[in-house]
Amino acid sequence: DPEPRKPMYYTEGPINALPARRRSIRSWRVLAAALAIAGVGAALFHFGFATRTELSSASLAVRGPTRTSFAPVNWARSAITPRNTRVGAKTLHFNNNDYQALRQMLAGVEKLAAVVGVTLGPKGRNVVLESGYGTPSIVNDGVTIAKQVDLEDPLENMGCKLVREASTRTNDIAGDGTTTAIILSHAMISEGMKVVSSGVNPVQIVRGMEKTGRLLVEYLKELSNDVSDDQIGEVATISAGGNREIGDMIFGAYKEVGRQGVITLEEGKSTENSLRVIEGMQFDRGYISPYFVTDTERMSCVYQGARLLLVDKRITNAREMIGILEETVKGGWPLLIIAEDIDQEVLSTLVLNKLRGGLKVCAIKAPGFGERKSSYLEDIAILTGGQVIKDEVGLTLDKATVDTLGKTESIMVAKEVTTIVGDGSTTEEVNARIKQIEKLMSDEKAKGTGASSYELDKLNERIARLAGGVAVVEVGATTESELKEKKLRVEDALCATKSAVEEGIVAGGGTTLLKLAAKVASIKGELDNEEQRMGADIIERALKWPLRLIASNAGETGDVVINNVLVGQKEDSDYGWNAANGEYGNMLEMGVIDPTKVIRSCIENGVSVAKTFLTSDAVVAEKPEEKEDEGMPAMGY
């Protein structure tokens, strides 16, 4: 039989072996396709270049890319995206002569201050927050409420966010006073807008506000008093909204562990509050990566029954940890790694496995440096019954076993602080370690070489960490909503007492702010010009707002209360009004106390936010999406 004829496009050789006629057809098709693509691209480029921006005296809506951008992909995207559904469009708003942009932002500030302000003072009320799941939350904590406020108007929302920043900063620094921070920020902005909108130079205004605020903080430090043990309970009670039960519980915790001890908060298993003291330690180190966070509301990593891996060197190889990581996964234990440092590759491996859910882990850097770091790690090892991995003793990371790990009842790692609660099995070892450090201190003093106070302070600090223990406040409640509300109150009380121990106390209830307002008159002589003195007047008027609102929430006339207090302060500088019972008198003697650190933070953050607000002249905001008419629903068959 004759051999069948092969198709003309079939070849057993290289592509060049194709018949010339076939190669010619293919070339023409490629050329035609290229010309078609070029034509479409030119059309899209022309359409995109023709896109114009619409201008008005008040705002500018950016409809398309600017003329300075010539990326073909960007032009094509502009051409095929309908104008009324463009994603990422911005609007520009200018003050012009009527300060319309800032007035809209001020409206957002006023709305935030209104909803937060109802909680201020002992007779303030609660705010109910809707939850996407579960029951609504009933709270009176300023920063918690502020975080939930999100306004529809973009300019109002930006004003809300600016003032929220003052509350967040105050919470980070002092842990309390967040409502006062919002009220003061609102007051400074509102009073400042009255002056700036009249045509006064805002730059000189805010300079006067900054100088006045700085001098008032210095005066505040002169007014501060050291907090006594009995006053700790009063501070906690005031911060908890006048809840005496919480104040007494915090006072009891400080009596158990002392001022150097650690107090933590947990959810109780009953309806009653309780207090227990266990062995534990706290130091100033936080998580290396925020991806280790397990509690997003408090931005902390919390584990029960965690094991500790202590490494006195830099971890550079993830393979060395495979064995011990597998052991912890098998045992079902969370793992806290404390090392000198961790390379990025190793950290990425830990984060990836944590996010996938296969490994409960957190990593922090060891406290201290050099020899002091090694001593701290040894202290932690003795507290938890573990071993420190170090090359000097022949123990390497790849040889670590479960017996090498320390044991804990719980750990809590925040952004800057770590708390380790022991399981109570190492009491004898801890006491022996304390005696060892005490002997080291006595030896240093006996040498007569003038041991530095810094070294002795650090040794004292180590003893306090080991001996102080941890007081665990367990909050009980009947319902979930009540539990959330009580936890926020206890958190505020704990932070307020800590601030009082650090920087002292002053008269509370808005009394000290009113005293600072009276001091402004003597400060104005140190300012450079009349505009700066106007800035000082803004601070003076704003400092009266908190007491006015406290009185209003208690059903009294704010201006009447302020006048009565100012008259009384001529004879007694701590004279004020107790909103809880409506009595006038010495606030320190009545137990109405504020931590100095809280007042300082409120003033500093309020001035900072007001400065940013008042010196703004244009606003760039997201353009609201236009909703299209959906028309008739599609017919199904």
Contact call for residues 361 and 354 (beta carbons, < 8 A): yes
- Within 8 A by CB and 6+ apart from 191, the residues are 538, 541, 542
> What per-residue confidence (pLDDT) applies to 38?
55
- Amino acid symbol at 228: S
What would the pLDDT profile of 201-216 be if each residue is shown by its tens digit? 899 999 999 999 999 9
- CATH number of this structure's domain 100-225+506-616, picked from the four choices 3.60.15.10, 1.10.150.120, 3.40.50.300, 1.10.560.10: 1.10.560.10
Low-confidence ranges of the chain (pLDDT < 70): 1-88, 260, 279, 446-454, 468-469, 626-637
Angle ∠(312,437,250) on CA atoms, nearest 5: 90
Contact call for residues 407 and 384 (beta carbons, < 8 A): yes
What tokens appear for 185 in the block? Answer: 């920020």
What tokens appear for 197 in the block? Answer: 């909108």
Residue listed under structure tokens 């092969």? 6
> What per-residue confidence (pLDDT) applies to 141?
86
Beta strands in 390-489 (DSSP E): 406-413, 418-422, 470-475
- Alpha-carbon distance 77 to 75, whole Å? 5
Strand partners, 422: 408
Contact call for residues 275 and 474 (beta carbons, < 8 A): yes
| CATH code linked to domain 229-279+471-503 | 3.30.260.10
- In the sheet with 470-475, reading across from the earlier edge strand, the strands are 262-267, 470-475, 274-278
CA-based torsion, 415, 417, 423, 426: positive or negative? positive
What would the pLDDT profile of 142-166 be if each residue is shown by its tens digit? 888 999 999 989 999 999 999 999 9
- Alpha-carbon distance 208 to 264, whole Å? 42
> What per-residue confidence (pLDDT) applies to 360?
94
> What per-residue confidence (pLDDT) applies to 515?
95
How far is the CA of 284 from the CAs of 236, 281, 424, in angstroms? 23, 11, 23
> What per-residue confidence (pLDDT) applies to 243?
83
Domain 281-424 sits in CATH 3.40.50.720: no
> What per-residue confidence (pLDDT) applies to 503?
92
